[in-house]
Amino acid sequence: MKPTHTKKPRDLVDGVLLLDKPVGLSSNDALIKAKRILNAKKAGHTGTLDPFATGLLPLCFGEATKFSQDLLEADKTYETTVHLGITTNTGDTEGEAIATHEVDVTVAQIEAVLAQFRGPILQVPPMYSALKRDGKAYYEYAREGITLEREARPVTILSLKFLEYSAPFLKLSVTCSKGTYIRVLGEDIGNALGSGAHLNALRRTQVGPLGIDAMVTLEDMQANPAPLSMLAPVDALLASFPAVMLTEELAKRFLNGQRLALGKEEIAVPAEQGRVRVYLGDKLLGTAQLQEYAILAPERLIAFLG
């Protein structure tokens, strides 16, 4: 009789991993590898990075997954290298070259063109993207040689900085709103310069309040005998929101989903209304909306973490 092998049960892991995604790996593959190293039961990422891109990919585990939407909505910062003069069918190095042009531009011309792309702009989503139509991803249509009509969508380029130009490579720093495609931005800048372009490199350096200082690699995790120690706490995702500290009695009511009239309690509240993170001591209870008259309305509650 063959011996039966039982799978090791997955662990309940809560926290945030600031992964430095390597080039060539999809965001989902990176998540699967990190989840396996941590033996975590529940995990999710906070928006994808293209396989050719590197840099900050926040991965949420356990209770942190309840707040991943906040990072999907957050502004993001990238450093990118735009290769002027060559257009590819994907807008990056993974595609095939479909057109080439001479590159004869000056830094002054580049600066003038960059000014056109700062602030609110309209962007046509690329065919090689995960957006869907009729239940089918755009990239699936593209691989079949089908090009769909796409409506331009409003996005905001909060910052667009010139870093370096060594023809034909243009290095830029971009901070943008959700839904922005840096590949499309690079192509549009190339078209405005009359040379066409594709992205040669892309590295994400900021997602909402999270930066690259505490990033770890998959190799770091594999080499660490205690990889769980590399996780940031759940509330690392919520650092941009003010905190409200509750008493034990109020915390019980909050966790039962009750709205709290904090104006009647001796509880310090922020001056501005809006989303807050809520604590009992150093224990995160969840998020809430602070409303008029200091009413605290529970929003997303988490299991009480020990």
pLDDT for 51-82, tens place per residue? 999 999 999 999 999 988 878 888 999 999 99
Residue 198 near residue 17, CB atoms below 8 Å: no
Q: Can you tell me the distance from the alpha carbon of 291 to that of 131, in angstroms, rounded to the nearest whole number?
A: 35
Q: Can you tell me the distance from the alpha carbon of 262 to that of 8, in angstroms, rounded to the nearest whole number?
A: 46
What's the confidence (pLDDT) of residue 5? 56
Of 51, 2, 46, whose CA–CA distance to 206 is shortest? 46
Instruction: Considering the candidates 14, 20, 50, 70, report the single residue annotated as catalytic.
Output: 50
* pTM to 2 decimal places: 0.89
What's the confidence (pLDDT) of residue 85? 97
Residue 257 near residue 263, CB atoms below 8 Å: no
What's the confidence (pLDDT) of residue 135? 86
Q: Is 235 a catalytic residue?
A: no
What's the confidence (pLDDT) of residue 1? 54
Q: What is the DSSP letter of 151?
A: -
Of 97, 113, 96, whose CA–CA distance to 105 is shortest? 113
> With a cut of 70, which residues of the chain have pLDDT below it?
1-6, 304-306
Q: What is the DSSP letter of 236?
A: G
Residue 36 near residue 28, CB atoms below 8 Å: no
Residue 119 near residue 157, CB atoms below 8 Å: yes
**Residue 160: left (phi > 0), alpha (psi -120 to 50), or beta?**
beta
Strand intervals (E) in 106-213: 119-123, 132-133, 136-137, 153-166, 169-176, 197-207, 210-211
